[in-house]
């Protein structure tokens, strides 16, 4: 994001980027298409459900194109062995057969190797939590046709360091989250190859010692990138500002952590075996109690919130939704922004600098127009 007036041309990939000497008069801006490396569902579709139809998954992609998203990691959370493998198999079929299935760049498996404790476990079902098992990881990859690109687990399992080393050798990114590790366990996970903190500040105890604690340890660990849910609900502004400063421009990533009710009307929904409620203000909680269960965040609104809540510039916010997730998720030909040779994933939008409002107008996937706003 340079602020310059540009003319971008190409087809499947960007072929040329020319800087114009005068304002073209469109009143719009261009940015690389947004990337969401953690989305559990959208528009009434639960990506964890092996029975989700291809038509439903395609519709969920189309809705996300309208938010400026061009690449995503559908995320499968803690569940039974057969259920998780079935969900990955179903998503792999959708990725292979749907017209725009390529937008699903890879899959993120969050759990089941997380903390069994209330608090850090979040809304994941306790009865399905289990230790890391490389044989099970290989079954995930077989079901996913090799498309598992990111795995989140807790470092507190004795098996974690050896498991992380094996998964990293397979070319898969390992993240830590939903956890209650000691300093030594966290350091062992990072030394074994973990490179990301999943939704830092969430999936944690509601009360922690002032110091030391595993949030401070993740913020100070320069080998860890961190993803953040910036919906104004999951994180307070003070923590968000502090964590973003600790991680810096290059090591922080915006995610939605959206779940099936995102983009739907408020009401009661099922996430697998978990009953949840979408509230009118956009909060998703377990139906019994007030524990958060994912979000209903749109990626474009997340970019706005980075500016409103954390005081970032438009360029800084866009970096966390484009180049950074591409680098952290190892998404090829998306890490340099609007440059020749990069994929033709582009979003056109209007931006109000005073209100920080972003309105997506058109979205291209590999140079193909996949969304046009009705004006």
Q: Is residue 2 part of a domain?
A: no
Whether 154 shows a pLDDT value over 90: the answer reads: yes
> CA 171, CA 138: separation in Å to the nearest integer?
13
Q: How many domains does the chain have?
A: 1
What is the residue range of 292's domain?
A: 33-342
Q: Is residue 74 part of a domain?
A: yes
Q: Is residue 150 part of a domain?
A: yes
CB neighbour class for 125 (10 Å; exposed up to 12, middle 13-18, buried from 19): middle
Q: Is residue 63 part of a domain?
A: yes
Per DSSP, what are the bridge partners of residue 104?
Answer: 72
Q: What is the pLDDT of residue 22?
A: 47
Question: Strands 346-352, 292-295: parallel, antiparallel or unpaired by DSSP?
Answer: unpaired
Q: What is the pLDDT of residue 328?
A: 98
Q: Is residue 50 part of a domain?
A: yes
Q: Is residue 364 part of a domain?
A: no
Closest residue by Cα to residue 103 from 60, 56, 145, 143: 60
As a three-state string, the secondary structure of 105-124 is: CCEEEECCCCCCCCCCCCCC
Q: Is residue 37 part of a domain?
A: yes
Tens of pLDDT, residue by residue over 196-254, are 999 999 999 989 999 999 999 999 999 999 999 999 999 999 999 999 999 999 999 99
> CA 333, CA 342: separation in Å to the nearest integer?
5
> CA 101, CA 107: separation in Å to the nearest integer?
12
Whether 77 shows a pLDDT value over 80: the answer reads: yes
pLDDT, the chain, mean? 93
Whether 190 shows a pLDDT value over 60: the answer reads: yes
- To the nearest 10 degrees (0 to 180), the angle between helices 299-310 and 237-247 is 90
Where residue 197 sits, what CATH number does that domain have?
Answer: 3.20.20.140
Which range, of 12-21, 49-58, 356-365, averages the lowest pLDDT?
A: 12-21
Tokens 């990138």 belong to 225
Q: What is the pLDDT of residue 271?
A: 83
Q: What is the pLDDT of residue 347?
A: 97
Q: Is residue 20 part of a domain?
A: no
Tens of pLDDT, residue by residue over 191-203, are 999 999 999 999 9
């Amino acid at each position: 994001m340079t602020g310059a007036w540009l003319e971008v041309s190409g087809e499947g990939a960007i072929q040329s980027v020319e800087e114009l000497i005068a304002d073209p008069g469109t009143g719009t801006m261009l940015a690389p298409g947004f990337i969401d490396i953690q989305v559990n569902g959208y528009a009434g579709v639960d990506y964890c459900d092996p029975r989700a139809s291809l038509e439903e998954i395609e519709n969920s992609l189309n809705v996300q194109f309208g938010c400026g998203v061009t690449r995503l990691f559908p995320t499968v959370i803690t569940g039974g062995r057969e259920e998780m493998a079935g969900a990955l198999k179903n998503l792999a079929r959708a990725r292979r057969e749907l017209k725009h299935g390529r937008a699903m760049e890879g899959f993120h498996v969050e759990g089941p190797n997380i903390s069994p404790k209330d608090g850090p476990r979040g809304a994941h079902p306790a009865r399905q939590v289990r230790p890391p098992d490389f044989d099970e990881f290989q079954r995930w990859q077989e079901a996913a046709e090799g498309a598992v690109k990111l795995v989140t687990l807790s470092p507190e399992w004795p098996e974690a360091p050896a498991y992380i080393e094996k998964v990293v050798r397979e070319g898969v990114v390992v993240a830590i989250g939903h956890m209650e590790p000691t300093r030594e366990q966290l350091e062992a996970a990072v030394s074994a190859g973990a490179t990301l903190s999943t939704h830092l500040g969430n999936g944690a105890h509601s009360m922690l010692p002032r110091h030391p604690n595993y949030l401070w340890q993740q913020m100070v660990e320069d080998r860890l990138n961190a993803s953040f849910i910036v919906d104004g609900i999951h994180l307070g502004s003070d923590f968000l500002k502090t964590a973003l400063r600790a991680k810096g421009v290059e090591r922080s990533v915006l995610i939605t952590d959206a779940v099936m009710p995102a983009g739907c009307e408020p009401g009661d929904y099922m996430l697998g075996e978990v009953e949840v409620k979408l509230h009118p203000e956009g909060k998703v909680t377990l139906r019994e109690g007030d524990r958060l269960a994912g979000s209903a965040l749109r990626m474009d609104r997340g970019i706005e919130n980075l500016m409103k809540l954390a005081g970032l510039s438009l360029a800084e916010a866009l970096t966390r939704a484009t180049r950074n997730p591409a680098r952290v998720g190892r998404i090829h030909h998306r890490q340099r922004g609007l440059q020749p040779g990069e994929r033709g994933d582009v979003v056109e939008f209007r931006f109000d600098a005073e209100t920080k409002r972003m309105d997506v107008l058109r979205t291209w996937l590999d140079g193909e127009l996949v969304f046009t706003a009705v004006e």
